[in-house]
């Protein structure tokens, strides 16, 4: 059983709940959650501000943890590896966005806390394509927000090649997105 902090209804304090997620899907990853950021979207979902919250609702989509288990079809992540998980937890894998590496634009992308339980929990699950290995040397304690607010701001800086002396030197090796 997985223990988690859940809202049972909008604007309620979080309660501890337990659930069993059943067998791990072939392409899924189970993460032992070590850290999880709090984003304003968590608050919006906890309080059903967007009308799509399902209760009990376990928020948390800035997850950093260790791979606890991988589905039989997952080969690029290993048990024990430090990984992160953001807002999206699954993709169709067959549309043109998925085919060109722009999974974030997939019209069928699943939200980590939309209709599934997120990272305010001992464990969280997601499709392997949405789970990202943390680069060497990155502090797992502070990396969580990079998977939501961080990438939201950083991606356009990279896409549009924004240069500024104000930008801090980036220590991780970056790959420019295709096209």
Q: Catalog residues that contact Zn ion under the rule CB under 5 A.
A: 39, 41, 91-92, 95, 98, 106, 148
d(CA 152, CA 140): 19
d(CA 38, CA 41): 8
Cis bond before residue 110 (omega within 30° of 0): no
d(CA 148, CA 144): 8
List of residues 6+ apart from 24 with CB closer than 8 A: 30, 69, 70, 71, 125
Give min distance, CB of 147 to Zn ion, in A.
8
d(CA 79, CA 33): 13
Task: Let me know: does 118 contact 124? Beta carbons within 8 Å.
Answer: yes
Considering the complex, state which of residue 54 and residue 108 has its C-beta at the smaller distance from Zn ion: 108
Considering the complex, state which of residue 48 and residue 69 has its C-beta at the smaller distance from Zn ion: 48
Give min distance, CB of 105 to Zn ion, in A.
8
Give min distance, CB of 108 to Zn ion, in A.
5
Considering the complex, state which of residue 41 and residue 88 has its C-beta at the smaller distance from Zn ion: 41
Considering the complex, state which of residue 30 and residue 41 has its C-beta at the smaller distance from Zn ion: 41
Considering the complex, state which of residue 69 and residue 116 has its C-beta at the smaller distance from Zn ion: 116
Token look-up 């392409």 returns 27
Give min distance, CB of 84 to Zn ion, in A.
12
Give min distance, CB of 144 to Zn ion, in A.
10
């Amino acid at each position: 059983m997985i223990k988690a902090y859940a809202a049972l209804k909008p604007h309620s304090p979080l309660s501890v709940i337990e659930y069993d997620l059943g067998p791990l899907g072939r392409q899924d990853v189970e993460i032992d959650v070590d850290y999880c950021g709090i984003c304003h979207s968590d608050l919006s979902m906890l309080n059903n501000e967007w009308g799509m919250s399902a209760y009990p609702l376990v928020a948390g989509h800035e997850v950093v943890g260790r791979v606890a288990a991988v589905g039989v079809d997952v080969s690029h992540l290993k048990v024990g590896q430090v990984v992160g998980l953001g807002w999206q937890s699954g993709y169709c894998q067959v549309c043109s966005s998925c085919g060109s590496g722009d999974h974030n634009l997939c019209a069928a992308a699943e939200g980590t806390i939309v209709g599934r339980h997120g990272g305010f929990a001992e464990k969280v699950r997601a499709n392997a394509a949405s789970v990202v290995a943390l680069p060497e040397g990155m502090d797992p304690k502070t990396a969580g927000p990079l998977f939501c607010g961080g990438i939201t701001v950083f991606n356009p800086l990279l896409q549009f090649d924004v240069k500024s002396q104000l930008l801090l030197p980036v220590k991780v090796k970056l790959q420019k997105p295709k096209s």
